[in-house]
Amino acid sequence: MTAPPLPVRGIIYSYTVVHEAPGGYESQAPYQLALVQLEGGELICAQLTDYVGEARIGDPVEMVTRKLTTDGERGMIVYGYKFRPLLT
């Protein structure tokens, strides 16, 4: 069974600002972490990117691929998804 792809657009359902980041992400603090409600109704947690100022609940956003961290020991760059303000 193959899972259907998730929608790439949604709205900010809730968010917070992370000041004390977990190991490997300390250099990114403070950063905004959001619970995004996708167009299909699914809720997904992800870091926000490309924001000028603070996000707001209800802001439309879209999923993008961004650098998450670097594995210091091997130097491998880890990529994943984040959400940015919807470009109109």
Q: What is the pLDDT of residues 2-50, one digit of tens each?
A: 888 889 999 999 999 999 988 877 888 899 999 999 999 999 999 999 9
Residue 69 — pLDDT band, cuts 50, 70, 90?
confident
Q: Determine what percent of the chain is predicted with pLDDT higher than 90.
A: 65
Eight-state DSSP code of residue 33? E
Q: What is the mean pLDDT of residues 71-82?
A: 87
Q: Enumerate the domain spans of the chain.
A: 9-85
Q: State residue 27's pLDDT score.
A: 82
Q: State residue 87's pLDDT score.
A: 84
Residue 75 — pLDDT band, cuts 50, 70, 90?
confident
Burial class (CB in 10 A: 0-12, 13-18, 19+), 18: middle
CA dihedral 64, 70, 76, 81 (to 10 degrees): -20
